[in-house]
Every structure is written in C-alpha cells, then in structure tokens.
Amino acid sequence: MSAVTLRGLTKSFGQVRALDGVDLDVAAGESLVVLGPSGSGKSTLLRVVAGLERADAGSVVIGGVDQRDRATHERDVAIVFQHFALYPHLSAERNITLGLTHGLRMPKSEARDRARDVAERLQITELLDRLPRAMSGGQRQRVALARALARRAGVVLLDEPLSGLDAQLRAELRVEIAAILRNAGATAVHVTHDQLDAMAMADRIAVVRAGRIEQLGTPDDLYERPASEFVAGFIGSPPMNLFRSEFDGTAHRTLLAVLPPSGHHDVTLGVRPEHLSLTRDAPWTANGVVVLVEPAGPSKIVHVSLAGHTVTVRCAADVGVRAGETVPLGCSPGRVAVFGGPGRRYLGTADELFASRSAASAT
C-alpha cells in the first residue's frame, strides 16, 4: 500500500476547468471517496492519478515517487471502472490472470494461484470457469474487483464501481467492497456521485464541486458540520432541509437581526430531517401541510409543504399523520445550521450566532 499526494492539480478541456488546483493527501491504507455531482471533475481526477490523462499543472506522488514521467502501466495502481470491462470471450479466471501474466510478466502457475486466492476471499471460486455473460451484474463486478486486487497494487482506483446495479445489490456490495479493501489493507480512491456509497465506503470523503475540493473530512464531520450549503444539501438521506427564504418569519428576521452586519444578510437556514418534529413544543414553530408519508423502517419520512417548498421530517414510525393534514413543525435553534457569505459557508448554529452576538454587544 502506498500513500498518494496530489498538489495543485489543474486540468482544462477547452473552456471547461475540470480540475482547479486540487491538493489531496490519501494515507497508506486509507479508503478515500471523491464525492460530487455529475461534471464536477471526479473521473478526471482519477484518470490523472492513473496516468490516463495528463494534468496541465500540478503533481501526483504515489508511494513517495513523482509519477510525472510514468505511463499508466508503470504506475503502482489498479483500476476498477464503471463498466466492468471484462473480456467477454475469457473465463473469470483468465480475466483475472491476464493482467498478471501479460502486464506483470508473472509465470502462469503463480498467476493462477493468485487468482484462486483472491477468488476465495471474494467468494467467487465457483465462477472462475464461467464466461462473463453467464454471470449476474454483481458477480461480474466481483470478478472485476478480483482482477484489480490480484495485482496487489499499492493503490486501487474505483470509478463508480456500483453504478448500473440495482439498489439492493448496491447496498450489499458497497459494504462488501469496503470490507475487502480494508482487509487487504489497500489504499483506495473511489469516485461516486452517490452519498450512500460514499458514507459506507469512506474513511474520509472529499466533496468536489466544479473541480475544487469543497470539504474534506470523515463521514461524521461532513454530516455534523457541513462546511457549506452545497455540502449540506449533498450529504444525508434525505438531505438537510435548506430554507433560502424563511422557516418561521419571526425567527428568520430575529436571526438576520443578530447576524454580523458584514453582508451575511442573505442566509440559508439548514435543518436535518431528524431535527424537525411535528410539534408546537419547540422554540421555533411553523405550520405546514402533509403531502406524503413515506415509511422508512423504524422511522417514517413525512414530506410537509411549507411556504412553497417541501420539508422532510423524520419521525417515529408510530406517529399517525396522513396526507392533507395540517401539522405543526418545530425545531430548536441549536439544531439550525446557518450558511451565508461568499460560497455560502457554514457560519455556525443559530444558537451559536445568537450567543456570539450577545457576547459582542456585552463588551
């Protein structure tokens, strides 16, 4: 396993800046997920690390060695692509051993031993003699992963390895792949636009937007303290409710009145679904109309229409509400995140902002 260090990576395609000065350190043995919307530069980042794309500026260092003059096959990386890219006319075993015998010039018997070893760990031994067309999507993806792991490369790069699989298989495989990479002690960089994949697979997540890293942190960091409105809206299922206008008119106005006068007047308030309740017994309240009740196992997600947008509330499964009902919504300012200023960065909770304002006015 090797550490990966990226410094000042920049890459443009014509007018499009796919990477805009990316600095990133991935520790040896770490699983890092690059998460962002379509077109944010995730694949380009991975391709530059793999040497499939040349950066306009910046450096890629793997295991302490600058990769500038190295072609993809000379880099200590294994790649698992979005599309399985297995050779259709070769058995699973041959798919796994081909890169070893040809790429790494390993003797056939040794390559076969390695394939069998990794197949056992991935529980696909019974697939080794099969052609890809005789396998399910999930089985093919396991074989693709086996092929990457069999190389025992210092770094495994995965580009949307789960896309194209159905939700249940995706949920199973994301946990499985994370465990396999962890047990193998592999350094892994995954790319995905799916925050559930990211939360399950990552030691740390880098959220990218327009070729820049917006926030880097553990899944808990990102969930508890999103650095910006963009991150807040991207993480969590359902994601944080964001109020550009107002939650409770009085509360919002009170909040605006206490914010620093330095241009933070256009703020967004964010509240997680689990921090809203269908009660009037809270410091801030408003009324809304239930549009949909969605069962979610031990809880339910209630979608409530409020001042022109839909708010999601996570509540206990036994709370009895029906579509069409008018319900109170309550929350506490300690649970309200405030975003504003350039880049709509996180300014603190409403409570913290009230407190700092009163402390400032007291001195």
Residues in contact with ligand ATP by CB under 6 A are: 13, 16, 18, 36, 38-44, 193
The minimum distance between CB 159 and ligand ATP, in angstroms, equals 8
Angle at 25 between CA 21 and CA 26, to 5 degrees: 130
The minimum distance between CB 251 and ligand ATP, in angstroms, equals 37
Cβ within 8 Å of residue 6, ≥6 positions away: 22, 23, 24, 25, 45, 49, 58, 59, 60, 61
Angle between helices 350-362 and 249-258 (to 10 degrees): 40
Nearer to ligand ATP by Cβ, of 211 and 333: the residue is 211
Across the chain, how many H-helices and E-strands are there? 10, 18
The minimum distance between CB 48 and ligand ATP, in angstroms, equals 9
- Give pairs for 106-110: CB < 8 Å, separation 24+: none
Q: How far apart are CA 156 and CA 163, in angstroms?
A: 17
Nearer to ligand ATP by Cβ, of 93 and 214: the residue is 214
Nearer to ligand ATP by Cβ, of 42 and 303: the residue is 42
Q: How far apart are CA 150 and CA 146, in angstroms?
A: 6
Nearer to ligand ATP by Cβ, of 158 and 350: the residue is 158
Cβ within 8 Å of residue 256, ≥6 positions away: 265, 267
- Which residues of 29-142 form beta strands (DSSP E)? 31-35, 57-62, 65-66, 77-80
Q: From the CB of residue 362, how many other CB atoms can be counted at a distance below 10 Å?
A: 6
The minimum distance between CB 302 and ligand ATP, in angstroms, equals 31
Q: From the CB of residue 169, how many other CB atoms can be counted at a distance below 10 Å?
A: 16
The minimum distance between CB 60 and ligand ATP, in angstroms, equals 15
Token look-up 């029906």 returns 322
The answer to whether 247 touches 342, Cβ cutoff 8 Å, is no
The minimum distance between CB 44 and ligand ATP, in angstroms, equals 3
The minimum distance between CB 14 and ligand ATP, in angstroms, equals 6
Q: Which two tokens stand for residue 323?
A: 């579509």
The minimum distance between CB 71 and ligand ATP, in angstroms, equals 18
Nearer to ligand ATP by Cβ, of 42 and 112: the residue is 42
Nearer to ligand ATP by Cβ, of 20 and 246: the residue is 20
Nearer to ligand ATP by Cβ, of 39 and 260: the residue is 39
Nearer to ligand ATP by Cβ, of 11 and 275: the residue is 11
